[in-house]
Amino acid sequence: MSVISSKAFAAALRDYGVSLREHKFDGVQWEDHDSPGGWNPHGIMNHHTVTGPDWSVDRTVRLLWKGRSDLPGPLCHVGLDRQGVAHLVGWRNANHAGKGDDDVLKAVIAESYDRLVPNENNTDGNPHFYGIEVFNDGVGEPYPEVQLEALFRINAAICDAHGWSAKSCIHHKEWQRGKIDMSWRGDLRKEIARVLGSGPDAVVLAATSEEIIDRYGDYGKEIVGEANRTRLALPLACALVEQESNFKNIFGCDLGARSTPPWCRQSVTRDRVQALIRHVRGGGTSNGVGLTQLTYLPFIERAELAGGAHDPRVQCRVGFAILHDHVRDHGKRKGLAVYNGGPSRPNFQYADQVLRREGVWKGRLGRVPPVETARGTVDTNGTPLTVRSGPGTSHKAVGQVADGQKVTIYCQAKGSKVTGTFGTSNLWDRIGSDRYIADVYVFTGSDGAVARPC
Ligand SMILES: [Zn+2]
Give pLDDT tens digits for 114-161.
889 999 999 999 999 999 999 999 999 999 988 998 999 999 999 988
Dist CA 322 CA 325 (whole Å)? 5
Residue 247 has pLDDT above 60, yes or no: yes
From ligand 1's centre to the CA of 97, what distance in Å? Answer: 7
Q: How far is the CA of 155 from the centre of ligand 1 (A)?
A: 16
The architecture (CATH level 2) of 203-365 comes to Orthogonal Bundle (1.10)
- In angstroms, rounded to a whole number, what is the distance separating the alpha carbons of residues 145 and 152? 11
Report which of 73, 70, 53 is spatially closest to residue 62, judged by C-alpha positions. Answer: 73
Say how many Å lie between the CA of residue 189 and the centre of ligand 1.
17
Q: Is the dihedral of CA 176, 182, 185, 189 positive or negative?
A: negative
pLDDT, tens digit, 9 for 90 and up, residues 84-107: 999 999 999 999 999 999 999 999
Given this model, what pLDDT does residue 448 score?
77
Q: How far is the CA of 175 from the centre of ligand 1 (A)?
A: 9
For Cα atoms 173, 177, 182, give the angle at the middle one, nearest 5 degrees: 15
Distance 45 CA to ligand 1 centre (A): 8
What is the CA(32)–ligand 1 centre distance, in A? Answer: 23
For the segment 382-421, what is each residue's pLDDT rounded down to a tens digit?
A: 999 999 999 999 999 999 999 999 888 878 899 999 999 9
Contact 35, 74 (CB under 8 A): yes
In the prediction, which pLDDT does 390 show? 92
**Ligand 1 centroid – CA 145 distance (Å):** 20
Give distance in angstroms: CA of 181 to centre of ligand 1. Answer: 5
Q: What percentage of the chain has pLDDT greater than the value 70?
A: 93
pLDDT at 240 over 70: yes
Residue 368 reports pLDDT greater than 50: no
Q: Which residue, among 45, 84, 89, has the nearest Cα to 63 in the 3D structure?
A: 89
Q: How far is the CA of 182 from the centre of ligand 1 (A)?
A: 7
Backbone angles phi, psi at 441, to 5 degrees: -105, 10
Expressed in angstroms and rounded, the spacing between residue 101 Cα and the centre of ligand 1 is: 14
Does domain 6-199 bear CATH number 2.30.110.10?
Answer: no
Strands (E) across 314-432 are located at: 374-378, 385-388, 397-401, 406-409, 411-420, 423-432
Side-chain half-sphere of 81: how many Cα atoms within 13 Å? 19
Dist CA 408 CA 284 (whole Å)? 59
Instruction: Please give the backbone phi and psi of residue 6, each rounded to the nearest 5 degrees, phi first.
Output: -65, -30
Give the Cα separation of 282 and 290 in Å (integer). Answer: 21
Residue from 196, 236, 247, 255 nearest 353 by CA? 236
212-216's contacts with Cβ under 8 Å and 24+ in sequence apart are 212/364, 212/365, 212/366, 213/238, 216/247, 216/364
**Alpha carbons 269 and 18: distance in angstroms, whole number:** 45
How far apart are the C-alpha atoms of 120 and 110, rounded to whole Å?
19
- Tell me the domain boundaries of the chain: 6-199, 203-365, 374-443
Do the Cβ atoms of 136 and 183 come closer than 8 Å? yes
Winning range, highest mean pLDDT, from 63-77, 157-171, 249-263, 432-446 = 63-77
Region 153-173: mean pLDDT is 92
Q: Alpha-carbon distance 67 to 89, whole Å? A: 11
d(CA 343, CA 351): 13
Let me know the angle formed at the C-alpha of 255 by 249 and 256, rounded to the nearest 5 degrees: 75
Inform me whether the pLDDT recorded for 202 exceeds 90.
no
Tell me how far apart the alpha carbons of residues 241 and 76 are, in angstroms, rounded to a whole number: 39
Counting residues of the chain whose pLDDT is more than 90, the rounded percentage is: 66
pLDDT band at 2 (very low <50, low <70, confident <90, very high): low
Q: Coil, strand, or helix at residue 169? A: strand
Distance 407 CA to ligand 1 centre (A): 30
Kindly state the average pLDDT of the residues 224-231: 82
> Do 374-443 and 6-199 have the same topology in CATH?
no
Q: How many A from CA of 58 to the centre of ligand 1?
A: 20
Query: How far, in Å, is the centroid of ligand 1 from the Cα of 158?
Result: 19
What global pTM score does this model have? 0.58
Neighbours of 128 (CB within 10 A): 23
The alpha carbons of the chain give a radius of gyration, in whole angstroms, of 25
The pLDDT of residue 199: 59
Q: Look at residue 265 in the predicted model and tell me its pLDDT.
A: 86
Q: Which of 18-27, 352-361, 367-376 has the lowest mean pLDDT?
A: 367-376
Average pLDDT over residues 423-436: 88
Q: What are phi and psi of 67, to 5 degrees?
A: 80, -165
pLDDT at res. 81: 96
Fold type of domain 374-443: SH3 type barrels. (2.30.30)
For residue 345, give the 3-state DSSP assignment.
Answer: coil
Whole-number pLDDT of residue 213:
66
Q: Over the stretch 315-327, which tens digit does the pLDDT of each residue have?
A: 999 999 999 989 8
Q: Is a pLDDT exceeding 50 seen at residue 253?
A: yes
Cis peptide before 36 (omega within 30 of 0): no
Selection from 412, 425, 421, 413 nearest residue 441 by Cα: 421
Residue 51 has pLDDT above 60, yes or no: yes
Q: Ligand 1 centroid to 94 CA: how many Å?
A: 12
